[in-house]
Chain A
Amino acid sequence: MEQVLSGIKVLDLTRYIAGPYCTKMLADYGAEVIKIEKPGDGDPGRRLSPFFKDDPHPEKSGLFMYLNTNKKSITLNLKENSGKTIFMQLLKDADIVVENFSPRVMTSLGLDYRTLEKINPRLVMTSISNFGQVGPYRDFKATEIVLDGMGGWSTIIGHPDREPLKPGGYQSQFVAGLFGAIATATGYYGAVLSSVGQHIDLSIMDAVLFIQMNLTAIYSYDNIIRKRYGNRVGPFPSGILPCRDGYIGAITVTAEKWPILCDWMGMPELVNDPRFETATARAQNIDALDAIMISWLIEHDRDELFREAQKRGLPFAIPANAPMILESRHLRERGYFTDVEHPITGKIKYPGAQIKFGDKPYRLNRTPFLGEHNEEIYCKVLGLKKDDLVRMRETGVI
């Protein structure tokens, strides 16, 4: 049975995280994605941890495996003329090209959008880069932490008197990858209607700022420069606080939850306590309020707090780690985690489909080995002979 994006053909030149997540979204929901890797080393994302059994081998990166499900891998040296010729042949039949090299690379390879557009006018090409294809920082170098800081994310995480924090993991790159998928799919939808493709320039720095919760709007409207509040969010109280057996996200969000919380804590008198009467007062006296709440929370276990809060309509949550998430009964019953069989790892659980399209099927085909689909694509699709492949291998083209 077909999936929503079945029939769409993607040439994937991406590496590391942002680009591969973009094409993973397309591949997981049905597009045919041909991942073009550099002969020899392949996608440098193959060097990202975690590694299966901690063995840093290019076919054992767990993050790489997650990011490249449902794709086909071929190797191709785009610096060689014969490699370019093959790329152009593949391009004729492709709908989409996604790349996340630094901005000058595609042009230096002679594969800029203007060139590709001439061969395939319906082509949608998405370029994801740290700072975009244009602008004074286009050639700047960045890693995750630099993008977290420049996109306005770190400025709100951490304690006010200490260093700003990056969000855990590779969030800016994942966010950009998902934006890439939105832009690419939409560009494709438009291209089918108009028969005119286009080039999409996605900057990770832009993407990070785009998701921030009204950061710059609040400054413009209210002259407030939002900084780090510590482990709290407004309207107060809401934060991660200690309880008897760990931590609990004691989250209330809306002001009408405050009396419910007072009642639950057995302290109804707090509702009329002038220190805590209004959201503004609670914000001003948050240290006193936290102290009161902690003295109560510390008497209770997190599971008990989590379940009882919900009965009372309070959106508490336990800050879960990986095993707690994997053991969640809710996620298990929804079949969220998906088993992927791989010759090296055996059967392993991966995060699965966050989107369910009616009763359309969803599967995770394992990530390909480097160049695994050379023969399929070069011989069956392009009609090259096995001898050609041998020669191409000898000359380093594949």
Chain B
Amino acid sequence: MSKNAAQWSAPPAFPTTHFVDSRVYTDDAIFEEEKEKLFRPSWIIACHESEIEAAFDYRLFNHPAGVPLIVIRGDDSKVRAFYNICPHRGNTILYDPAGNAKRMTCIFHQWSFDSRGNCIDISREEQGYQKRFCKADAGMREVKCEVAFGGFVWVNITDDCMSLREFIGGALDILEPYMVEPMEVFHFHKAHLRTNFKLWHDTNSEFYHDFLHYFNRITGMLQPGYFERRYTPFSNGHATVGSMQIQYDKYDGSKERAIGWPKMARGGWYMVDIFPGMTYNLRTSVLRIDTAIPLGPNEVVIEFRGLGLKRDTKEERDQRIFDHNMIWGPFGRNLHEDLLAVHGQGRAMRDGTDSRWVLQGREENSTIHDEVGMRHYYAEWSKRMGRPAYDPCREGKTEPVRAAA
């Protein structure tokens, strides 16, 4: 039966934990608050250690809270992160997305900085500043930075944040046995979408949308073990999905993976969603990492990385690249479908469309089509934001504003 306006606007007949008001995806004020309350205090993956292997190698990263960062390996091999903002006149210090810089020199007035963030040169320092200001006063702003959990470079721009270990808790324990060997990024690309970052994370947090993917239906959903895959929630909004044996040979043109991953069962597939917008996705022969960088309530850039083992032979690496491209490459079978779906959500939820609710009501004992992953995320979201996701614009209240029809 179709609905009239009142019925369409009425809260769904679920517990308030089982749906979300779609304004959490579109409201400008909520988005600004998310940058402060979700992204600023969180540890975020900026890049992987293999992207900055040598001393003075650097990588730029646009932090989801809006801060431009430089991640650089120092002369002492330590990886540090700094604002990519010159303390002099606020200019961008480094422009290329990656490179090697023994000195980081701002092109504007030639102030230079070393890989530890010290200012090492101020043009005509004494003539202009006499003894009132010197290089020691002009250091770069350093932010917290750690290399961990598979060699990823994590940054946190809040000085008094919780530790990375405390932030992750046990969420990545399921992947620890598979991240012992050094890895290497072989694939990177970005997708820029007119949609909300949480909609991408939602997609990574539920497998009910396997109906979207012909590949996943054929190789997974129709195969034994699929419906036993189980979600496990962790503190701070993270969640994991257990493995099964994917039947890759059921898809035309595909075959059982020629290479796998050390210690992982044949055809295995684990996922870990890290709050507020990152995902580890280890699928048999390739680890994929998603990092969502929101630009607005309805605009996001997603960084995609594909990783293999650093010790790969050429043949092994070629095979991992082939496997990656088949489902997750920009011309692959699955990624495009996911992106198309969240693009469609962004289109349907933009301001003025009268989109009202997003349902998260499936309960299947926390197995693969249960929407507990999303519910767990929005419980954390509500806690951190101080707003219930089911009614985010009614501060301090616990019940929905909107009356049932």
- Is B one of A's binding partners? no
Question: Hey, which bits of chain B sit against chain A, CB under 8 A?
Answer: none
A residues whose Cβ falls under 8 Å from a Cβ of B: none
